[in-house]
């Protein structure tokens, strides 16, 4: 299998954490393909986005939701996305929540990196609201995560999302508002799957400028 991968993408990181948590990482070659290199990606994913997984069976799978669901059928351990019942929908909703947090953080960052005259403050404020409310909802979910073994896919998705917040929004004071999530994240950060997949800027490409509009917590206590 070949994973079209990235040093910075939280969606790619979600897949990388999943691979390591399920013991599959040795079966996958990670290829670093910057999304700007569209000609390499488009034949595999018409959207030109990463991650893409070439399965070795003639298929190219995207996006991270599909890739992780497929990988969950390929390891010998307990399913990380429960196959049925309330637990299935709880885990899938948790993945959607974590991915939505990542989406809002990613969209906000792209907006804040535009030329100052083009930045929409309303758009940024809306993403700030989504980010703060998603973190509070994850804080509630985290109350049930401590005794959960093995780690399920909602936790993997949340780890990738919080890893992105740590990488791009280091100044956002979310931990004081979400103490259970902060404790859980501190523990998850010690897992090999997380420590081995830390993001970094792309080698050989210019470092991005700082965001012109600092992130802010948008829910009153
Ligand atoms: N929903 C997708 C999102 C993938 C995505 O947005 N990837 C970004 C990198 S973080 C990308 O490839 N962006 C390139 C573009 O939008 O053209 C997933 O979960 O895989």
67-81 as b/e: b if 16+ CB within 10 A: bbbebbeebeeebbb
Reduced to 3 states, what is the DSSP secondary structure of residue 31? strand
Reduced to 3 states, what is the DSSP secondary structure of residue 35? coil
Domain tally for the chain? Answer: 1
Cα 3 to Cα 42, 44, 60, 91, distances in angstroms: 15, 11, 9, 24
> Quick check: 211 pLDDT over 80?
no
Region 204-211: mean pLDDT is: 83
Which residue's alpha carbon is at the smallest distance from atom 15 of ligand 1? 49
Taking only the tens place, the pLDDT of each residue in 44-80 is 999 999 999 999 999 999 999 999 999 999 999 999 9
Taking only the tens place, the pLDDT of each residue in 193-204 is 999 999 999 998
Q: Which of 9, 47, 53, 161 to mutate to test the pocket of ligand 1 (most atoms within 8 A of CB)?
A: 9
67, part of any domain:
no
Q: Which of 42, 49, 51 to mutate to test the pocket of ligand 1 (most atoms within 8 A of CB)?
A: 49
Q: For the ranges 10-19, 53-62, 110-119, 177-186, which has the lowest average pLDDT?
A: 110-119
Enter the pTM of the model. 0.96
163, part of any domain:
yes
What is the CA(175)–ligand 1 centre distance, in A? 26
92, part of any domain:
yes
Q: Tell me what pLDDT residue 40 has.
A: 85
Taking only the tens place, the pLDDT of each residue in 113-172 is 999 899 999 999 999 999 999 999 999 999 989 777 899 999 999 999 999 999 999 999
- Beta 52-54 vs 2-5: how paired, if at all? antiparallel
Domain that holds residue 182: 85-191
Q: Which two tokens stand for residue 164?
A: 């992105």
Which residue's alpha carbon is at the smallest distance from atom 1 of ligand 1? 63
Q: Tell me what pLDDT residue 220 has.
A: 62
> Quick check: 187 pLDDT over 70?
yes
212, part of any domain:
no
Percent of the chain with pLDDT over 90: 84
CA dihedral 143, 127, 203, 197 (to 10 degrees): 10
Q: Please, what is the average pLDDT of the chain?
A: 94
Write the CATH number for 180.
Answer: 1.20.1050.10
128, part of any domain:
yes
70, part of any domain:
no
């Amino acid at each position: 299998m070949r994973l079209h991968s990235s040093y910075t993408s939280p969606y790619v990181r979600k897949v990388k954490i999943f691979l390591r948590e399920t013991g599959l990482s040795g079966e996958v070659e990670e290829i670093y393909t910057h999304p700007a290199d569209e000609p390499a990606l488009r034949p595999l994913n018409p959207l030109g986005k990463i991650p893409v997984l070439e399965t070795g069976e003639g298929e190219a799978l995207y996006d991270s939701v599909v890739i992780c669901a497929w990988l969950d059928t390929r390891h010998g351990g307990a399913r990380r996305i429960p196959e049925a019942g309330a637990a299935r929908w709880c885990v899938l909703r948790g993945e959607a929540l974590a991915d939505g947090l990542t989406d809002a953080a990613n969209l906000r960052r792209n907006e804040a990196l535009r030329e100052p005259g083009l930045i929409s403050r309303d758009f940024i404020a809306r993403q700030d609201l989504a980010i703060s409310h998603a973190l509070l909802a994850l804080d509630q979910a985290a109350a049930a995560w401590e005794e959960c073994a093995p780690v399920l896919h909602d936790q993997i998705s949340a780890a990738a999302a919080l890893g992105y917040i740590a990488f791009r929004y280091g100044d956002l004071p979310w931990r004081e508002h979400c103490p259970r999530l902060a404790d859980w994240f501190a523990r998850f950060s010690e897992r090999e799957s997380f420590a081995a997949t830390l993001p970094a800027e792309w080698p050989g490409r210019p470092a991005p400028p700082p965001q012109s509009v600092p992130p802010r917590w948008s829910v009153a206590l």
